[in-house]
Amino acid sequence: MAEDITKNPGRTITPLTANLHNRLAQDRPAVVTKTDISAYLAEVGSNRDVGVTVKNLQRLGWLVGVHIKGVWAYLPPGEAQITDRYIDLRAWRARDPDAVFALAGEAAAWHLGYLDREYIGPPAVWIPSDTRMPFGLRKYVSEVKLGWGADEISQLVPTSKLLHQRRLDLTKWAGGLPAFGPEALLVQLSMRVKSFRSWADLIPHLQQLAADVDVVRLATLLGGKSQSSWQRAGYLLGCGGRYEDALQLLNDRPRPKMADVVFGDGPEAVWVPQFRVVDRLIAPMQRDLGKA
């Protein structure tokens, strides 16, 4: 039997609470901080204690805790639970507006249209090399570091031209969060092969991924990376049908001599001499997918 909140003083809806909730319902913020609640209280003409107000809104079920201390998710009227899988990342940005991160891996690939189904595990999140993930988030995201600094974020996200060409919403794409573009994603795939967990879903879309890549931008992002990363990146471009661009990328690598590079760790291998790649992932999986 549902509790009658009118008989519980701790859950009574006062005119103040109703006015505050009306303002929240108008704005529908994904998350709120104490500063936000303080501003809303000022709008409705109240000097009530912020901490007491937050606890009251939590008791009423209008604010829900997240994994970032001092931030709460707002549960709009008519919704039974928080369904935004990026709510903790929004909470991080709300607490630390200067935080720099980007969706990577499967999350970026999904939003770019390279996966037919969304990966349901912890989303991959890139953070700069000198940044630490908030403690509360560490169990709920898959952290990716690739040696880039915070000042390089503009080179990691997709260009507005690409989003326009792909007919992706410029403001709502990736849930409004920064996310890897095709070049940064391809570098991740080349540097941290095991950090990507949906290869079977990605491989049928390698041609689209390769078509979206700006090779000059890709070469810039590969600057300072290992020789093996350049070889795997070139190989991925070739697998996506851009063979000439792939060879040109290899010609632009900082060191001309190539060593043998392993791609993946499967039981079977295909030797690709042009890139000196021992492919234990893509070619064997393409063959298996073709049989399915």
Asked, for residue 110, whether it belongs to a domain, the answer is yes
Q: Residue 135 falls within a domain, yes or no? A: yes
Same domain, 120 and 200: yes
The answer to whether residues 39 and 176 belong to one domain is: no
The reply to whether 191 falls in a domain is yes
pLDDT-derived band at 291 (thresholds 50, 70, 90) equals: low
CB–CB of 126/144 below 8 Å? Answer: yes
Residue 215 lies in a domain: yes
Note whether 61 and 169 are same-domain residues: no
Q: For residue 242, what are the CA distances in angstroms to 65, 171, 239, 258, 265?
A: 47, 30, 7, 20, 24
One domain, residues 113 and 73:
no
- Residue 123 and residue 261 in one domain: yes
Q: How does strand 142-144 pair with strand 124-126?
A: parallel
Q: What is the pLDDT of residues 114-150, one digit of tens each?
A: 999 999 999 999 999 999 999 999 999 999 999 999 9
- Looking at the fold, whether 151 and 217 belong to one and the same domain comes out as yes
Cα of 189 vs its chain's centroid, Å: 15
Asked which of 55, 84, 113 is the last residue of a domain, the reply is: 84
Which one of 84, 113, 139 terminates a domain? Answer: 84
Asked if the structure places residue 201 within a domain, the reply is: yes
Q: What is the CATH number of the domain that holds 64?
A: 3.90.56.20
Let me know if residue 176 belongs to a domain: yes
**Which letter, b or e, does each residue of 75-95 get, where b requires 16 or more Cβ atoms within 10 Å of its Cβ?**
beeeeeebeeebbbbbbbbbb
Mean pLDDT computed over every residue of the chain: 91
Structure token pair of residue 30: 């994904």
CB atoms within 10 A of CB 106: 27
The tens digit of pLDDT for each residue in 85-121 reads 999 999 999 999 999 999 999 999 999 999 999 999 9
**Residues 75, 183: one domain?**
no
Tokens linked to 182 = 């095709």
Helices and strands in the chain, H and E counts? 14, 9
Q: How far is CA 56 from CA 34, 59, 82, in A?
A: 13, 5, 19
93 found inside a domain: no
Amino acid, res. 217: R
- Say how many C-beta atoms besides its own lie within 10 A of residue 289's C-beta: 12
240 found inside a domain: yes
Distance CA 258, CA 209 (A): 25
Residues 158 and 281 both lie in one domain: yes
Residue range 262-280: mean pLDDT, rounded: 95
By residue range, what is the domain housing residue 135? Answer: 102-291
pTM for the model stands at 0.90
> Domain ends where: 33, 52, 84?
84
The answer to whether residue 2 scores a pLDDT higher than 80 is: no
Beta bridge partners of 254: none
Q: In what order do the strands lie in the sheet with 124-126?
A: 102-103, 124-126, 142-144
Query: What is the number of other CB atoms lying within 10 angstroms of the CB of residue 96?
Result: 13
Coil/strand/helix, residue 233: helix
pLDDT digits (tens, 9 = 90+) for 177-186: 999 999 999 9
- pLDDT value of position 5: 34
Q: In this structure, are 70 and 186 located in the same domain?
A: no
Interior/surface letters 43-57, b for 16+ CB within 10 angstroms, e for the rest: ebeeebebeebbebb
In whole angstroms, what is the distance from residue 251 CA to residue 275 CA? 11
The count of domains in the chain is: 2
Task: Judge if 67 and 109 occupy the same domain.
Answer: no
Nearest-angstrom CA–CA distance, 39 and 22:
14
Is there a single domain that holds both residue 171 and residue 60? no
245 and 109 in a single domain? The answer is yes
Helix axes 15-27, 50-59, angle to 10 degrees: 80
